Structure 1
Amino acid sequence: MSKLPVIVGFGGVNAAGRSSFHHGYRRTVLDALPGEKVSRTYRSLAAIMGIPADQVNSDVQRQYMRDHTLIRKIEGNIFDVDNVPWNKRMALSGAEGVLQFVTRARDLPDTLPSGWVVKELGAGKVSVSINEDCNMLLPTTRKIEVSTAGQLPSGFDPSSLYASRNHPRGLQMAICGASDALKSIGLEWQTVMDSISPDQMGVYASSAMSQLDDNGFGGLLGARANGLRVSSKQMALGLPDMPADFVSAYVLGNVGTSGPSLGACATFFYNLRQAVNDIRSGSVKVAVVGVAESGVDPRIIDGYYTMGALASDADLLKLDADKGLSEPDHRRASRPFSSNCGFTISESSQFIVLFDDELAMQLGAQIHGAVPNVFTNADGYKKSISSPGVGNYLTVAKAVAAAAAIIGDKAIKTRSFVQSHGTSTPQNRVTESHILNETAKLFGIEKWPVAAIKAYIGHSIGASSGDQLVASLGVWNDNIVPGIATIDHIADDVHCSNLRLQKEHMEVEPESLDVAILNAKGFGGNNASVALLSPSLSEKMLKGRHGDKAWQAYLARREQVQAVASAYDDAACETGFSVHYQFGENVLDGGDLELSRDGIGIKGWASKVALDFKSPYASWLPSED
Structure 2
Amino acid sequence: MSDPITTPVRPDHGNHQHEDDLHENRAAGVAIVATGAITAQGAGAAALWDGARAGRVAIQQVQGLSMDGLSTKLGGEVGVPVRPRGAYRRPDGFRERAIDLALVAAEEAMAALPAGLVDPDRFAVVLGTCNAGLLSAREWLAADASGALPDRRLPALVTPQALAEAVAAAFRLRGPVLAVNTACASGANAIGWAADLLRQGRADAVLAGGSDALSDVVLAGFNSLQSLSPEPAAPYSAERQGLSLGEGSGMVVLVRSDLAERHGLTVLAEVAGYGLSADGYHVTAPHPEGLGAAGAIRAALGHAGLGASEIGYINGHGTGTPKNDPAETSAIRLALGERTAAAIPVSSTKSVIGHLLGAAGAVEAIVTANALAEQIAPPTAGYRSQDAACPLDYVPNTARPITAGAALSNNFAFGGANAALVLTRPQLRHRPPAPRREEVVVTGVSVLSPSGDGPSAAWQDFVARREPGGELAGVRVGQVELDPEPYLARRTRRRMDRLGVLSVVATAKALEAAGIEPGGEAARTVGVVFGTGTGPMEAMERFTVPVLGEGPAAADPAVFPNTVYNQAAGQVALHLGLRGPTSTVSVGHASGAAAIGYAADLLAAGRADVLVATATDTLTAQVARAYAAVGAASSRGAGGAADGRFLLAEGSVALVLERRSTAEARGARVLGTVLGYGMASDASRARLWDARGRGVERAMRAALLDAGPAAQGVGEIWLAAAGLAAADRAETAAVARLRADPALNASAPFRLHAPKTVLGEPMGVGGALCTALALHAGDGTPALVNSASLGGTHITLAVRAADAATTARESRILTEGESR
Structure 2 residue aligned with 1:508, among 398, 401, 404? 401
Structure 2 residue aligned with 1:518, among 409, 426, 431? 409
Whole-angstrom distance in 1 between the partners of 2:695 and 2:379: 57
Contact persistence 1:265–1:520 (CA under 8 A):
yes
The aligned residue for residue 232 of structure 1 is: 152
Whole-angstrom distance in 1 between the partners of 2:37 and 2:220: 27
Q: CA deviation at 1:71?
A: 0.5
* Superposition map of 1:86-165 within 5 A: 142-152=68-78, 154=79, 156-159=80-83, 161=85, 165=90
Whole-angstrom distance in 2 between the partners of 1:160 and 1:532: 29
The aligned residue for residue 449 of structure 2 is: none
Q: Amino acid of the residue matched to residue 143 of structure 2?
A: A
Structure 2 residue aligned with 1:181, among 109, 126, 132? 109
Distance 1:612 1:344, change over 3 A: closer
* Superposition map of 1:200-211 within 5 A: 200-211=122-133
Q: CA deviation at 1:160?
A: 6.8
Q: CA deviation at 1:399?
A: 2.5
Structure 1 residue aligned with 2:296, among 382, 385, 395? 395
Q: CA deviation at 1:280?
A: 1.4
Q: Amino acid of the residue matched to residue 33 of structure 2?
A: V
C-alpha distance after superposition, 1:444-473 (max 9, x if no partner): 454111011101000011111112101112
The aligned residue for residue 424 of structure 2 is: 533
Contact persistence 1:338–1:429 (CA under 8 A):
no
Alignment pair present for 1:435 and 2:460: no
Structure 2 residue aligned with 1:171, among 99, 106, 109? 99
* Superposition map of 1:255-270 within 5 A: 255-270=174-189
The aligned residue for residue 360 of structure 1 is: 260
C-alpha distance after superposition, 1:560-590 (max 9, x if no partner): xxxxxxxxxxxxxxxxxxxxxx986999945
Contact persistence 1:170–1:294 (CA under 8 A):
yes
Contact persistence 2:274–2:301 (CA under 8 A):
no
* Superposition map of 1:343-422 within 5 A: 343-380=243-280, 382=281, 384-389=282-287, 390-403=291-304, 405-406=305-306, 409=307, 412-413=308-309, 416-422=312-318
The aligned residue for residue 617 of structure 1 is: 710
Contact persistence 1:483–1:506 (CA under 8 A):
yes
Whole-angstrom distance in 2 between the partners of 1:594 and 1:369: 33
Secondary structure of 1:338's match? coil
Q: CA deviation at 1:502?
A: 3.2
Task: Structure 2: give runs of 5+ residues left out of the alignment.
Answer: 1-16, 18-26, 433-682, 714-779, 782-820
Task: Structure 1: give runs of 5+ residues left out of the alignment.
Answer: 32-65, 82-141, 314-329, 543-581, 602-607
Q: Amino acid of the residue matched to residue 79 of structure 1?
A: L
Q: Amino acid of the residue matched to residue 501 of structure 1?
A: Y
Distance 1:480 1:175, change over 3 A: same
Contact persistence 1:421–1:452 (CA under 8 A):
yes
Secondary structure of 2:118's match? helix
The aligned residue for residue 455 of structure 1 is: 351
Contact persistence 2:187–2:209 (CA under 8 A):
yes
Alignment pair present for 1:424 and 2:320: yes
The aligned residue for residue 65 of structure 2 is: 79
Alignment pair present for 1:15 and 2:43: no
C-alpha distance after superposition, 1:130-187 (max 9, x if no partner): xxxxxxxxxxxx54332110011x3x221475657533111111111111111123x1
Whole-angstrom distance in 2 between the partners of 1:162 and 1:3: 33
The aligned residue for residue 86 of structure 1 is: none
Secondary structure of 1:388's match? coil
Whole-angstrom distance in 1 between the partners of 2:341 and 2:320: 24
Q: Superposition RMSD on alpha carbons, in Å?
A: 3.2
C-alpha distance after superposition, 1:59-117 (max 9, x if no partner): xxxxxxx7xx7111112xx1243xxxxxxxxxxxxxxxxxxxxxxxxxxxxxxxxxxxx
Alignment pair present for 1:217 and 2:137: yes
Whole-angstrom distance in 2 between the partners of 1:485 and 1:365: 34
Secondary structure of 2:708's match? coil
Distance 1:430 1:446, change over 3 A: closer
Secondary structure of 1:209's match? coil
Contact persistence 1:146–1:301 (CA under 8 A):
no
Secondary structure of 1:489's match? coil
Q: Amino acid of the residue matched to residue 4 of structure 1?
A: G
Whole-angstrom distance in 2 between the partners of 1:591 and 1:398: 43
Percent identity between matched residues is 21
Contact persistence 2:227–2:242 (CA under 8 A):
yes
Distance 1:364 1:502, change over 3 A: closer
C-alpha distance after superposition, 1:291-320 (max 9, x if no partner): 11002x222111111022222x3xxxxxxx
Distance 1:491 1:600, change over 3 A: closer
The aligned residue for residue 474 of structure 1 is: 370
State the TM-score, normalized to the length of structure 2. 0.49
- Aligned residue-pair number: 432
Alignment pair present for 1:243 and 2:163: yes
Higher Rg of the two aligned structures? 1
Structure 2 residue aligned with 1:276, among 195, 200, 203? 195
Whole-angstrom distance in 1 between the partners of 2:161 and 2:303: 30
Structure 1 residue aligned with 2:58, among 70, 77, 82? 70
Q: CA deviation at 1:289?
A: 0.7
Contact persistence 1:202–1:254 (CA under 8 A):
yes
Q: CA deviation at 1:244?
A: 0.9
Whole-angstrom distance in 2 between the partners of 1:600 and 1:392: 38
Secondary structure of 1:448's match? coil
Contact persistence 2:180–2:186 (CA under 8 A):
yes
State the TM-score, normalized to the length of structure 1. 0.63
Give every structure 1 segment of 4 or more consecutive aligned residues whose post-TM-superposition deviation is greater than 4 Å: 160-165, 582-595, 608-614, 618-622
Whole-angstrom distance in 2 between the partners of 1:298 and 1:489: 32
Secondary structure of 1:346's match? coil
Q: CA deviation at 1:486?
A: 0.7
Whole-angstrom distance in 1 between the partners of 2:322 and 2:688: 51
Whole-angstrom distance in 1 between the partners of 2:199 and 2:250: 22
Q: Amino acid of the residue matched to residue 428 of structure 1?
A: N
Whole-angstrom distance in 2 between the partners of 1:451 and 1:305: 25
Contact persistence 1:480–1:505 (CA under 8 A):
no
Secondary structure of 1:192's match? coil
Contact persistence 1:334–1:344 (CA under 8 A):
no
Contact persistence 2:84–2:103 (CA under 8 A):
no
Structure 2 residue aligned with 1:192, among 95, 118, 122? 118
Q: Amino acid of the residue matched to residue 38 of structure 2?
A: V
Higher relative contact order (CA 8 A, sep 6+): 1
Secondary structure of 2:254's match? strand
Q: Amino acid of the residue matched to residue 463 of structure 1?
A: A
Alignment pair present for 1:308 and 2:204: no
Q: CA deviation at 1:274?
A: 1.9
C-alpha distance after superposition, 1:26-45 (max 9, x if no partner): 122338xxxxxxxxxxxxxx
Contact persistence 2:126–2:207 (CA under 8 A):
yes
Contact persistence 2:405–2:425 (CA under 8 A):
yes
Whole-angstrom distance in 1 between the partners of 2:128 and 2:259: 25
Whole-angstrom distance in 2 between the partners of 1:518 and 1:162: 30
Whole-angstrom distance in 1 between the partners of 2:328 and 2:685: 47
Whole-angstrom distance in 2 between the partners of 1:587 and 1:619: 32
Secondary structure of 1:617's match? helix
Q: Amino acid of the residue matched to residue 394 of structure 1?
A: G
Secondary structure of 1:9's match? strand
